[in-house]
């Protein structure tokens, strides 16, 4: 079932999202959080760091699994998702060493890496709360539009539109990786709770299409219409095309 939290703006969206995550941690201190990158969740991570510093949220028993990673960017590269997560969250809270997980986009054998990541998620008992952003083409994680819904972790060729959108973080278009490794749609759908954040007018068309259009692998996020517990936390601008 879809719940929509309509928020005033990005700050309000971030606070409400952080509230949902912290409620999850309070209800199940040893929960598994599925985490996302991109600009949309950054405010929620900042809020969580702030609450952690005030003693209001405790990550000491939490485990995390991230959605995705670029292929070929070492951890120290400030555009790697490993770097992003440490910089925006992990380095500032009491998440124990070894409790955070990301797929390794530098692995020599990517097939083995995908199998390792799926086995790891299984061994943690699956994801309790999966946080998601949404790409302009409806991608979640890096599951790009295609002719089916991929089940497990896999390597993808990034869509032209995604390369363009992510170009803003790199010195030039040529530096944007063309491939990534992502958790599959099957794993995302198996999460017990999904929270998707969307902000800004540029996301309005895809928010409408994903949640109110036909369910199709051409709009990967549309599968979330079939998930039993999805909360869309979006600001007025992102919801401007939804009545």
Cβ proximity to ligand GLP: between 38 and 118 the closer is 38
Task: State which of residues 34, 103, 133, 177 lies at the interface with ligand GLP (CB under 6 A).
Answer: 133
CA 19 to chain centre: 17
How many Å apart are CA 230 and CA 233, to the nearest integer? 10
Q: Is the dihedral of CA 87, 78, 120, 157 positive or negative?
A: positive
Q: Pick the catalytic residue: 69, 113, 137, 235? A: 137
| 137 near ligand GLP, rule: CB under 6 A | no
Q: Which stretch binds ligand GLP (CB under 6 A): 30-38, 85-93, 98-106, 216-224?
A: 30-38
Cβ proximity to ligand GLP: between 28 and 186 the closer is 186
| 143 near ligand GLP, rule: CB under 6 A | no
Task: State which of residues 13, 21, 31, 36 lies at the interface with ligand GLP (CB under 6 A).
Answer: 36
How many Å apart are CA 71 and CA 84, to the nearest integer? 15
The residues, ordered by sequence, that sit 6+ positions from 167 with a Cβ below 8 Å of its Cβ are: 173, 176
Place of tokens 């390794």: 104
157 a catalytic residue? no
Tokens, residue 140:
């979640």
Cβ proximity to ligand GLP: between 36 and 110 the closer is 36
| 150 near ligand GLP, rule: CB under 6 A | no
């Amino acid at each position: 079932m879809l719940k929509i939290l309509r928020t005033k703006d990005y700050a309000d969206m971030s606070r409400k999202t952080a509230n949902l995550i912290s409620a999850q941690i309070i209800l199940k201190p040893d929960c598994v959080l599925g985490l996302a990158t991109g600009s949309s969740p950054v405010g929620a991570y900042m809020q969580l760091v702030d609450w952690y510093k005030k003693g209001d949220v405790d990550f000491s028993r939490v485990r995390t699994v991230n959605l995705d990673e670029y292929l070929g960017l070492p951890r120290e590269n400030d555009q790697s998702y490993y770097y992003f997560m440490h910089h925006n969250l992990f380095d500032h809270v009491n998440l124990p060493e070894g409790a955070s997980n990301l797929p390794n986009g530098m692995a020599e054998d990517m097939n083995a890496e995908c199998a390792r990541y799926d086995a790891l998620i299984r061994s943690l008992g699956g994801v309790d709360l999966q946080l998601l952003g949404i790409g302009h083409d409806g991608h979640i994680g890096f599951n790009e539009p295609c002719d089916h819904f991929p089940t497990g972790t896999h390597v993808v060729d990034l869509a032209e539109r995604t390369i363009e959108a992510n170009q803003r973080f790199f010195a030039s278009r040529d530096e944007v990786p063309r491939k990534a490794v992502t958790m599959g749609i099957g794993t995302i759908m198996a999460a017990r709770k999904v929270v998707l954040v969307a902000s800004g007018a540029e996301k309005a068309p895809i928010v409408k299409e994903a949640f109110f259009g036909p369910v199709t692998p051409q709009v990967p996020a549309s599968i979330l219409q079939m998930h039993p517990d999805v909360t869309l936390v979006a600001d007025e601008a992102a919801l401007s095309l939804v009545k």
